[in-house]
Amino acid sequence: MAKILLEMKNITKTFPGVKALDNVNLKVEEGEIHALVGENGAGKSTLMNVLSGIYPYGTYEGDIVYNGEVCQFNKIKDSEEKGIVIIHQELALIPYMTIGKNMFLGNERGKSAAIDWNETYGEADKYLKMVGLSESSKVLVKDIGTGKQQLVEIAKALAKHAKLLILDEPTSSLNEKDSKALLDLMLKFKKEGMTSIIISHKLNEVAYVADKITVIRDGSTIETMDKHTTEISEDRIIKGMVGRELTDRFPKRQGVKIGAVNMEVKNWTVHHPLYPERKVCDNVSIKVKKGEVVGISGLMGAGRTELAMSIFGQSYGTNISGQLFLDGKEVQLKSVKQAIKNKLAYVTEDRKGNGLVLTNPIKINTTLANLDSISPRKIIDKDKEYQVAVEYKDKLKTKCPTVEQNVGNLSGGNQQKVLLAKWMFADPDVLILDEPTRGIDVGAKYEIYCIINDLVAAGKSVLMISSELPEVLGMSDRIYIMNEGRIAGELSAEEATQEKIMSIIVNSGKGA
Amino acid sequence: MNKTLDILRKHTMKIILVLIVIFFSVTTKGQMFAPSSFQALIAQNAYVFILATGMLMCMLTGGNIDLSVGSFVCFVGTVGGMLMVKAQMSVPAAMLLMIGTGVIYGIVEGFLIAYLNIPPWIATLAGYLAFRGWGTALIGGSSIAPMPEGFTKMFNGSVPDFFGGKNINITCILAGVIACVIFVLLQLKGRNDKLKKGYEAENMVSLAVRCVLVCAVILLFAYKLGQANGIPNNLIWVAVIVLIYSFITEKTTIGRYFYTMGGNVEATRLSGIDTKKIFFLAYLNMAVLTVISAWMTMARLSAATATAGNNYEMDAISACVVGGVSAYGGSGTVFGMVIGAALIGVINLGMSLMGIDANWQMVVKGMVLLAAVVFEILNNRDKTKE
């Protein structure tokens, strides 16, 4: 057996209210490619952030043993000095700088007072050749494609004398050909003795490059499979990723009558606002009936949020085409205001970023989307506002001393309730809930599910975007599976299983 | 103990204002309380209240400022001077044209900032340079003077005494008393309404204390101004503007949107509110209020000069920041801004009475501004820790 390069022992990392990692163990041998797989939020990225020092020593429990010594990294520089280099999913290159400047950012050649540009560009060209790029290092990063940018990131890592290369979803924004090239490069480096960890959702790629696969689920390591001793198939990996029992985490919905179609979207295509040639949603057609909870499942970046926001008064994207029917009538919603007027609501996945005004009290947040209804002649009736806020606080069981409390001081679950209250007060017929239970604890989740059930019982329609498979399965009457901007499949509640959803995603990814 | 601290924290600026007044009345041997000081305080600072009101609206949207107001005071003043003095146009027509100039500038500025996404400080920096130059060039080195008396009186004059008091202006005293009565009645009504609807209302003692203190200040002003020329017209302008904007910011939906936008633009936009329009309105409003403060400036000097409005933008921003308006947007009140402007006005006046060199006055004002911001940040940090 080869030497163990890295061992992470009993790593436990807690965020306020959430245990992100629970006793995780990971062993990586020198010279192998080790894959980390798991659902969104399983803890893969958190684990890598612990390893690279983004979460400094002391903020987690457990030990990192690298190259035979126990390491205590306080910042990224510490881990990079040892040769551990992480390449994040979101590329960290500066578009208006040359490749060479980007590669040696924070790692400049020459003296700190006088950068040696000849050495910079000379070295840069050398590393670019190693990753198979023929571009000059004097080209601006914005002028090369995403695939090549990813390679520049790797060259940058090599320039730091990486011994252990960590790639977080390296192919998520690459096309088939670039992905293949990248994976082959990884195999080439492996022959030269490099050790790599790859995090990926694309199981076919994982099966192609990895020597060992470690499955992480709910913050714990489930198993490690060795390609050389066991047969690894995608089905086998999927089973490891999702194999958990569905218990009574979801309140039952009884006697809700499913009525006529409430919202229908036909041939909906949306282009990226900054790169208009890129289709974010491609010919999507979905419908939601009265009294129905429809789940949209898919991986991050599948285009689900973009779909929802583009429907919601074109608040995202350009060149939006397609038809939208609400209650049987075709409508054109050009602004959020029109969308709200047509009884549509979008409850964002990012409650802090674009859902709530954290520095304002609960009552102001509750009424914000429908302030006119309590403001005769545009003058706010503050008593009415107070009453409304209290009414929703009681209805949703929001835990807070008074509705004068600033939302920023509430827990995540209670913030989510305020956000729901805000949109319920806007009195919509169709609610699009984007990750309605992200980052909140199990108890609060259950309460949110009850609220969703009450909503459909009142004849409303709920379109629920969620990355948590159990949640989608436990709550939905029907499930759409989205991948790479397209609807990859549709399953009824009866026929849907986690394995089926996962394999639909994986198979549609292959076809592209 | 905690409660006392809370009260202290809530009223810090008011307490500091009182302390500063006491300090200056000692160092100036009571000159601070001479009737002429009260008059000077209003005459010299009226423009700050007007500009700071506009600046408050801009800052609420997200800490955005308008650097061009001082130069625009100069430019629009020049325009007014040319119309009134050189072209002999009637005063109302000239004033209307000045407002029109303000509206045009406001539309251009608002469009650049809100719809073309030009950073406010850059767009207004351009105005800062251009209008100072343009105004000065139009004046041609000297100044345009004198302004028609009808115009200067609108701002510099006082409300005549309808009752013909001998040593004291009875109208002024009466106005003070009426203002007190209205204030107390409104306070009582507000409390009663709350009780009737079954909400928690503040206790009678704190309400009484507030009424007594506010009335004391109003009556002190009424008495002192009554000993001088009576109610200055400027004060009426300021009072009207301040009242209108307190109403807008506290009671109306549009006022509410200024605050939520400063708190979180995206959340506000996704709640169906046209945030670009709000942004646009903030700058349009600023330009119009700038015209009013230009009137005050011209009337006080009875001239349009090349140096008119110098550093006014800084005075307005300082008044807001000292008055607790967040430099990041989303919080601050008209009343707080009034306290801030008053604080700076009192410091100016006090130092002038003491005969402190103008350069040193600037040093002191700079320090006060810095202290106010540091204080705000430390204060908020304490709150988040709790």
**What CATH number is associated with residue A34?**
3.40.50.300
How far is C-alpha B217 from the geometric centre of its chain's CA atoms? 18
Q: Mapping DSSP to helix (H, G, I), strand (E, B) and coil, where does residue A369 land?
A: helix
Pair A338, A355 in one domain: no
User: What is the per-residue pLDDT for B383?
Assistant: 52
Pair B141, B181 in one domain: no
Pair A197, A280 in one domain: no
What does the pLDDT look like over A148-165, one tens digit per residue?
888 898 899 888 888 999
Res A285 pLDDT > 50? yes
- Chain A residues 313-342 with CB within 8 Å of chain B: 313, 315, 335-337, 339-341
Pair B183, B140 in one domain: no
Nearest to B85, CA basis, from B45, B123, B139, B48: B139
Pair A292, A420 in one domain: no
- What integer is the mean pLDDT of A127-140? 88
CA distance A364 to chain B (A): 8
Contact A380 B263 (CB under 8 A): no
Of B231, B251, B282, the residue that ends a domain is B231
Sequence-ordered list of residues with C-beta below 8 angstroms from that of A42, at least 6 positions apart, any chain: A216, A217, A218, A219, A241
Q: Mapping DSSP to helix (H, G, I), strand (E, B) and coil, where does residue A196 land?
A: strand
Pair B100, B243 in one domain: yes
Q: Which residue of chain B is at minimal alpha-carbon distance from A350?
A: B267
Give the confidence band of B248 by pLDDT, cuts at 50, 70, 90: very high
Pair A401, A280 in one domain: no
Pair A235, A355 in one domain: no
- Chain B residues 254-273 with CB within 8 Å of chain A: 254, 256, 259-260, 263-264, 266-273
Segments forming the whole domain that contains residue B192: 158-231
Rounded CA gap, B196 and A465, in Å?
45
What global pTM score does this model have?
0.81
In a domain, B26, yes or no: no
Rounded CA gap, A141 and B377, in Å?
39
In a domain, A454, yes or no: no
Q: Which residue of chain A is at minimal alpha-carbon distance from B253?
A: A378
Which residue in B199, B256, B261, B271 has the most chain A C-beta atoms within 10 A of its own C-beta, making it the best mutation to test that interface?
B271
Minimal Cβ distance to A356: which of B193, B199, B267: B267
CA distance A136 to chain B (A): 35
Residue B144 φ/ψ, nearest 5 degrees: -100, 120
Rounded CA gap, B127 and B184, in Å?
44
Contact A383 B199 (CB under 8 A): yes
In a domain, B15, yes or no: no
- Please report, for the domain that includes residue B353, its CATH number: 1.10.3470
Q: Mapping DSSP to helix (H, G, I), strand (E, B) and coil, where does residue A406 land?
A: strand
Pair A384, A316 in one domain: no
- What integer is the mean pLDDT of A198-227? 86
- What integer is the mean pLDDT of A291-298? 92
The answer to whether the peptide bond before residue B146 is cis (omega within 30 degrees of 0) is yes
Q: Mapping DSSP to helix (H, G, I), strand (E, B) and coil, where does residue A162 land?
A: coil
Q: What residues of A are in contact with residue B267 (Cβ under 8 Å)?
A: 353-357, 368
Letter for the amino acid at A2? A
Pair A145, A202 in one domain: yes
Pair A59, A106 in one domain: yes
User: What is the per-residue pLDDT for B281?
Assistant: 97
Contact B253 A335 (CB under 8 A): no
In a domain, B38, yes or no: no
Q: Mapping DSSP to helix (H, G, I), strand (E, B) and coil, where does residue A430 land?
A: strand
Res A246 pLDDT > 60? no
Pair A26, A175 in one domain: yes
Rounded CA gap, A109 and A114, in Å?
9
The average confidence (pLDDT) of chain A is 87
Give the confidence band of B14 by pLDDT, cuts at 50, 70, 90: confident
What does the pLDDT look like over A13-30, one tens digit per residue?
887 666 788 889 999 999
Pair A337, A371 in one domain: no
Letter for the amino acid at A474? G
What does the pLDDT look like over B52-70, one tens digit per residue?
999 999 999 999 999 999 9
In a domain, B122, yes or no: yes
Rounded CA gap, B202 and A491, in Å?
58
User: What is the per-residue pLDDT for B71?
Assistant: 96
- Interface predicted TM-score (ipTM) of this complex, two decimals: 0.85
Element (H, E) at A488: strand A486-492
Contact A383 B197 (CB under 8 A): yes
In a domain, B132, yes or no: yes
Pair A74, A146 in one domain: yes
Res A75 pLDDT > 90? no
- What integer is the mean pLDDT of B68-96? 95
What is the share, in percent, of chain B residues with pLDDT greater than 70? 98
User: What is the per-residue pLDDT for A312?
Assistant: 94
What total number of domains does chain A contain?
3
User: What is the per-residue pLDDT for B384?
Assistant: 46
User: What is the per-residue pLDDT for B385?
Assistant: 39
Contact B253 A375 (CB under 8 A): yes
- Chain A residues 362-421 with CB within 8 Å of chain B: 364, 368-369, 371-372, 375, 378-380, 382-383, 386
- Comparing B75 with A131, the larger pLDDT belongs to B75
Pair A180, A90 in one domain: yes
Minimal Cβ distance to A355: which of B193, B267, B331: B267
| Alpha-carbon radius of gyration of chain A | 25
- Six token digits for residue B58: 């801009």
Rounded CA gap, A76 and A52, in Å?
6
In a domain, B44, yes or no: no
Q: By the CB < 8 Å criterion, does B386 face chain A?
A: no
CA distance B205 to chain A (A): 23
Q: By the CB < 8 Å criterion, does B276 face chain A?
A: no
Res B256 pLDDT > 90? yes
Res A323 pLDDT > 90? yes
User: What is the per-residue pLDDT for A248?
Assistant: 64
Pair B205, B65 in one domain: no
Segments forming the whole domain that contains residue A210: 4-242
Pair B269, B145 in one domain: yes
